[in-house]
Structure 1
Amino acid sequence: MERRTIDPRPDWQRIVEAQGVIYPLARYPDGSLRPYWDESAYYVFSLPEVEALEETVEELHSMCLAAAAHIVEHDRFADLGITDPRLARLVAESWHRRAELPSVYGRFDLRYDGTGPAKMLEYNADTPTSLVEAASAQWFWMEDRFPGADQWNSLHERLVETWRRQAPLLPPGPLHFAHSDGDELGEDLMTVAYLRETAQQAGIDTEALSVERIGWDSLTGRFVDEQLRFIRSCFKLYPWEWLSTDAFGEHVLETLDNGGGTGSTCWIEPAWKMLLSNKALLAILWELYPGHPNLLPAYVDGPRELAGTKGAGYVSKPLLGREGAGVDLYGPGSPPVLRQEPCCYQELAPLPDFDGNRVVLGAWVVGGEAAGLGIRESAGPVTDEYARFLPHVIL
């Protein structure tokens, strides 16, 4: 793994916007605009390195599924902050019915610097973004700058194939694709639009709408779109913890309670993905696989041996935080600091520093298989909303 600098392509902003990255710039707190898509540098990997990362990702995914089964079997929902018995029961039922429920993708965030085993930082298996730039823009960048090179990137083909394979699980009628109107940058909009395109290429009939424009027909007890058509299936880039607790959350639970019967809506990703996108998963993984080379020690009841004069340091993460929000770092020797809200305490593993840039690897899983890589850099120790996306090649 190596970081190399390069001159950006002339008119790069127009190029990537035409490829779906309509958010190539990020606005910083001081009002300045700086590149989010950053092709002034790129990362190089060897083929054996990528093959080893692929094996790691698939092993981690299998371990996460085993941890989900453990949570359900041993009723560990409270560790995830799921204290509503009804919601816990519905998530468990979704898990038991997972073979009948379409599920498409997820993204591991990994700490990796090329010199040791990759370490799992978290798994967003419900609403991951940065997909368009990983699947599309960086592939076309490679073809422009390094024709004949390769890339860890079979995202598009695997997405189409996954939709095609799971199409028989969808109920009759169009598959609706929903994003939130609250998305100001357009990232959610384009992520959903891209996923909709891959579903269409798989031969699936689709419709687009926003989450805010999903209606509820109280007479029939069904969700409907703006044409008052029954929404039988819906891909939503909208977290389950919001979907189940918003003003219409009770109706979501009602239709889930229907167990796939008349009037129910098939949501993608399914409710059991709540088990994988919760940071408490990190602690359960460490409990089930203590000492695993791709895991970091993690707990939900406090930092334990990670704190104190002999501790390696730790990070406290909200169970459902995103974009680095609410993440606190405590260096080696720090005293234990317990937060009032439920969170996960994970061993501090500072992100690799490449020329002053802190790097995290986003390893994609599509249809249960490792499918590609996206790389984000940040100036600080936490990968936040100001992180930059950089392309990569295999040379």
Structure 2
Amino acid sequence: MKRIEIEERPDWQQTAEREGFDFHTIGGERYWDERAYYQFTEEQITKDIEAPTQELHAMCLDVVERVVDSEELLTRLAIPPAFFDLVRTSWKEGHPHLYGRFDFSYDGVNPAKLLEANMDTPTSLYEAAAFQLIWLEEQIARGVLPAQASQFNSLAEDLVRAFAAIPPGGRFYFSAMSGSIEDRGTTDFMRKMAEYIGIETRHIDIEDIGLTPEGRFVDLDGQWIERIFKLHAWEHVFHEPNGQAIPGCDTQFIEPAWKSIISNKGILPLLWELNEGHPNLLPCFVDKDPRAPVAKGWVRKPYFSREGANIEIRTPGDQVIFEDGPYNDAPYILQQFAPLPRFGDSYTLIGSWVIGDTASGIGIREDDSLITKDSSRFLPHVVLG
């Protein structure tokens, strides 16, 4: 695993805008950064990333199977009792799912360590599936990269297959909160993959979803929303007024409610309990006293933190790193510290994607801090040798 500096394409911004990559720059700072790329060997990808991703995904599904039949475990994961049956039924009936992402600390030598699972509403999908592939193809065409250079990246093809596996139905809605160009970029890309196989799609902002007196979800024209992909986390839905209508409604939700078990950091202690000593897992426990100082060599995370918010790291050398945020009203976990590899001034995180039940590709994020955030830079990768 190498970080290789390279000249950026002189027209990369125009290319991004032509391709609809409207959030390549965030707050005046680069989000997409092609001044360097990461290079992996084929063995590093297949042995150290792809195989563990596949195995961890199977382990997570095993946890879901155990949790849905246990009110004690559902409670431990802070899922409201009113939604126990919804979560259980969505799993027992095999409600379809599309995607997820594991975040790894990996240095190219030692086993990748799972930091968390984002299995409900992960973003950075478009840039991983499409734009870094455009970068690769153009750099090969320009002679900057050798013709045999490739990527671990079958995300688009696998998404098309995942949509094709969903039982046919009516119009498919894709939704995100209004005002987030990153979220909209994710849902628009997924719409394209669905439309590729002839599915009729429509976008609707989360705020515009209506609810009839009979408990049916509808769009702004009063049309029934038969099925919907929602880029909106289940832990939020569970506590929203319209969310209370979901257990009795006739809309199919993707991701399904059972994904609330895997997207919850409370799953990490369960994974450790059931698979203690697994080379890709870190020791992890429910934090019984979140007010106590974090011990050296440990990390405190809320169950429902996103984009690095409210995470506190205390390194073995007693350095404390904390990212403020709004996620301070849920249980916490304590996870053993696994340092992200450092290249120059940047710390590197690997996001390993699962489409359906298949390990499908990676995206790489860099930050000047040990905590990866929504503003952290995205860099492309290459597989050679």
Question: Is the CA contact (8 Å cut-off) linking 1:312 and 1:332 kept in structure 2?
Answer: yes
Alignment-mate amino acid for residue 153 of structure 2: N
Question: Is the CA contact (8 Å cut-off) linking 1:303 and 1:346 kept in structure 2?
Answer: no
Per-residue displacement from partner, 1:171-194 (whole Å, max 9, x unpaired)? x320111111142xx011111011
* Aligned twin of 1:328: 312
Question: Is the CA contact (8 Å cut-off) linking 2:75 and 2:81 kept in structure 1?
Answer: no
Alignment-mate amino acid for residue 94 of structure 1: S
- Distance in 2, matches of 1:243 and 1:273, equals 13
Is 1:366 matched with 2:363?
no
* Aligned twin of 1:157: 157
Identify the match of residue 74 of structure 1 among 66, 70, 77.
70
Per-residue displacement from partner, 1:219-265 (whole Å, max 9, x unpaired)? x321111111111111111111122222312122332xxxxxxxx10
Alignment-mate amino acid for residue 123 of structure 1: A
- Distance in 1, matches of 2:65 and 2:96, equals 18
- Distance in 1, matches of 2:317 and 2:210, equals 53
Per-residue displacement from partner, 1:66-96 (whole Å, max 9, x unpaired)? 11112223330122112x3221222122121
Alignment-mate amino acid for residue 359 of structure 1: T
> SS in structure 2 opposite 1:145?
helix
Question: Is the CA contact (8 Å cut-off) linking 2:296 and 2:314 kept in structure 1?
Answer: no
Is 1:23 matched with 2:38?
no
Residue ranges of structure 1 left out of the alignment (5+ in a row): 28-32, 256-263
* Aligned twin of 1:3: 3
Question: Is the CA contact (8 Å cut-off) linking 2:300 and 2:313 kept in structure 1?
Answer: yes
Is 1:111 matched with 2:105?
yes
Q: CA deviation at 1:341?
A: 4.1
Per-residue displacement from partner, 1:259-282 (whole Å, max 9, x unpaired)? xxxxx1000000000000000111
Question: What are the equivalent positions in structure 2 for 1:161-180 lying under 5 Å apart?
Answer: 161-166=161-166, 168=167, 170=168, 172-180=169-177
* Aligned twin of 2:257: 271
Q: CA deviation at 1:9?
A: 0.4
- Distance in 2, matches of 1:212 and 1:360, equals 32
Question: Is the CA contact (8 Å cut-off) linking 2:104 and 2:350 kept in structure 1?
Answer: yes
* Aligned twin of 1:92: 88
Instruction: Call closer, same or farther: CA 1:359–1:303 in 2, change over 3 Å.
Output: farther
- Distance in 1, matches of 2:243 and 2:59, equals 30
Per-residue displacement from partner, 1:326-381 (whole Å, max 9, x unpaired)? 000112286xxxx8841111001111101121000000000100001100000011
Identify the match of residue 290 of structure 1 among 276, 279, 283.
276
Identify the match of residue 227 of structure 2 among 204, 228, 233.
233
- Distance in 2, matches of 1:146 and 1:152, equals 16
Q: CA deviation at 1:115?
A: 0.9
> SS in structure 2 opposite 1:146?
helix
- Distance in 1, matches of 2:281 and 2:346, equals 23
Is 1:211 matched with 2:197?
no
- Distance in 2, matches of 1:221 and 1:81, equals 25
* Aligned twin of 1:258: none
Alignment-mate amino acid for residue 258 of structure 2: W
* Aligned twin of 1:393: 382
Identify the match of residue 224 of structure 1 among 211, 218, 232.
218
Alignment-mate amino acid for residue 300 of structure 2: S
Runs of 4+ in 1 over 6 A off after TM superposition: none
* Aligned twin of 1:60: 56
Alignment-mate amino acid for residue 332 of structure 1: P
- Distance in 1, matches of 2:185 and 2:226, equals 23
Instruction: Call closer, same or farther: CA 1:244–1:74 in 2, change over 3 Å.
Output: closer
Is 1:181 matched with 2:189?
no
Alignment-mate amino acid for residue 103 of structure 1: H
Is 1:318 matched with 2:302?
yes
The alignment's TM-score, normalised by the length of structure 1, stands at 0.89
Q: CA deviation at 1:212?
A: 0.8
Is 1:380 matched with 2:369?
yes
Per-residue displacement from partner, 1:86-135 (whole Å, max 9, x unpaired)? 2122212212112xx12100011011010110000111110010001001
Q: CA deviation at 1:145?
A: 1.0
> SS in structure 1 opposite 2:84?
helix
- Distance in 2, matches of 1:116 and 1:242, equals 36
* Aligned twin of 2:241: 247
- Identity, in percent, stands at 42
- Distance in 2, matches of 1:244 and 1:130, equals 25
Identify the match of residue 356 of structure 1 among 336, 345, 366.
345
Question: Is the CA contact (8 Å cut-off) linking 1:111 and 1:121 kept in structure 2?
Answer: yes
Per-residue displacement from partner, 1:183-217 (whole Å, max 9, x unpaired)? 2xx01111101101100112212121111111111
> SS in structure 2 opposite 1:86?
helix
> SS in structure 1 opposite 2:382?
strand
Output the aligned Cα RMSD: 1.9
Residue ranges of structure 2 left out of the alignment (5+ in a row): 142-146, 319-327
- Distance in 2, matches of 1:333 and 1:357, equals 19
- Distance in 2, matches of 1:242 and 1:97, equals 23
Q: CA deviation at 1:386?
A: 2.2
- Distance in 2, matches of 1:119 and 1:363, equals 11
64-73 vs 49-58, which moves further? 64-73
> SS in structure 1 opposite 2:301?
strand
* Aligned twin of 1:30: none
